[in-house]
Structure 1
């Protein structure tokens, strides 16, 4: 469904744009229908840049992103099949309009011929699918709703378009614990309907909870990727091991992260080269000369 092939994104920097910096380097992975893929990494690793390229908000410098075999082209028909939800739900709503205006915009753009009564029924069904009571959210201004309600409103908006892929960028980071679980369970339920989800997060525990496959980014490049149980259960890259060792454990003192160890793949190639350590489990050379 979605395929990234050797994708690189460079940004111009400097007073006259004479220099460039690579935010994403040679990234390749896929998302198939009914699958959640976690894109994990620390702040500045390139996660959100990848999400923005998939959504057509930033152009690709090199490589390609295709959806159902066709190149990404931002526009009405593309957004009928792919939608994004971002970290701050309040930024997605105009504070002077009631929250249900997002549904009116969908109707005006994609379904102008649908009768009003039928559209109202579709909205109600979509809201109940995300466990919202229409009477409690429709007609309200954004400041009258919680962050969790607004996030679910945005998911309901996406469901009205019958999308095939959802790019969820840090969508739970501003939510309290109970609401966070509600949203994650909703995403897990939606994938059973065939929806593909790219779940962008820096929270390893949430990625482990939700995703079938995990892609670990380090400085814009893929450090490790594969089935989630292998990446978390048998991390091979030093950076992945550092990330996992930094997760607080309630039953143990939270000391400094232990040494990550040497890169097992340094002798096999240069930095950034991916090797298949086991079927479907890929790890990059860490570029450590002492191994």
Structure 2
């Protein structure tokens, strides 16, 4: 369904954009129907930039992003982009930025009707909206007519998920979608995503929280400094992490009955780099990622791609 092939993003900087900052470097992965793929990494690793490129909110500098085999960079007409966004939608970390504070929050739902369903009558549309709100566990009577400042961040986030459900979407980009939710609501939204996956929806789940990625995803992509350092089936990556960065991330996850002062500086049991066991001359001698198993790939342990 969705495929990224050697995608890179460079943001220009300096006078006349003569230099640039590479935010994403040669990233490749795919999202299939009914699959949740988690992009995991620290802040600044390029997770949100990838999500924005998938949603056509940012351009691709190099590489290709295809949806159902069509390069989305070629979607230039308004009608083409509208049809693409009918099937691909995103929900972001800050729900307040998606709502105009001078209008009621549910205006974002009415915008879907104006843009995609102008022929649907008012009564039928109201029924559709109520059903979508109930799916995300919102009481329509408590949401309709309220302004963004009158709703909590969690309520707004679920409202935006309801907006996506009003469309016939096949892919949802969820960028830190539950970071502003409390613990009780968080599990409800995660279970909602699981239900949508069971119906065949593909989900690109952007998060810095490894526990959430492990809970909800089928495939995990670990990003560091814009580059994929490890990827594979979530159960495999979490059970047998190979890259030192992945191991450090997992070692830093807080655990009950262990204080922060007890955490080791580095995870125990350092391993030699399997990439350079296979390609001693470094990244130029082999592919960007080494297949260590059918469902597990790992990159060079050296940050700059040189031999370890």
Task: Give the alignment's TM-score, normalised by structure 2.
Answer: 0.90
Secondary structure at the counterpart of residue 8 of structure 2: strand
Q: For 1:26-105, what aligned pairs fall within 5 Å after superposition? A: 26-72=26-72, 73=75, 75-105=81-111
Instruction: Establish whether residue 204 from structure 1 lines up as the match of residue 210 from structure 2.
Output: yes
Change in Cα spacing, 1:169 to 1:276, as seen in structure 2 (3 Å) is same
Q: Partners in 1 of 2:277 and 2:302 — Cα distance?
A: 9
- Aligned residue in 1 for 2:266: 258
Structure 1 gaps of 5+ residues are none
* 1:175 paired residue among 181, 185, 200: 181
| 1:199 to partner: Cα distance | 0.4
Instruction: Establish whether residue 145 from structure 1 lines up as the match of residue 151 from structure 2.
Output: yes
| 1:225 to partner: Cα distance | 0.5
Q: For 1:182-221, what aligned pairs fall within 5 Å after superposition? A: 182-221=188-227
Q: Partners in 1 of 2:140 and 2:258 — Cα distance?
A: 45
| 1:273 to partner: Cα distance | 2.1
Count of aligned residue pairs for this structure pair: 291
- Aligned residue in 1 for 2:10: 10
Farther-moved stretch of structure 1 (172-181 vs 228-237): 172-181
Contact 1:39 1:217 in 2 (8 A): yes
Structure 2 gaps of 5+ residues are none
- Aligned residue in 2 for 1:235: 241
- Aligned residue in 1 for 2:122: 116
Contact 1:226 1:282 in 2 (8 A): yes
| 1:257 to partner: Cα distance | 2.9
Change in Cα spacing, 1:10 to 1:290, as seen in structure 2 (3 Å) is closer
* 1:130 paired residue among 106, 117, 136: 136
User: Please, what is the CA RMSD of the aligned residues?
Assistant: 1.6
| 1:218 to partner: Cα distance | 0.9
| 1:134 to partner: Cα distance | 1.0
Secondary structure at the counterpart of residue 38 of structure 2: strand
Instruction: Establish whether residue 225 from structure 1 lines up as the match of residue 231 from structure 2.
Output: yes
Contact 2:242 2:271 in 1 (8 A): no
- Aligned residue in 2 for 1:22: 22
| 1:140 to partner: Cα distance | 1.0
Task: Give the alignment's TM-score, normalised by structure 1.
Answer: 0.95
Q: Partners in 2 of 1:99 and 1:273 — Cα distance?
A: 45
Contact 2:290 2:298 in 1 (8 A): yes
Instruction: Establish whether residue 268 from structure 1 lines up as the match of residue 278 from structure 2.
Output: yes
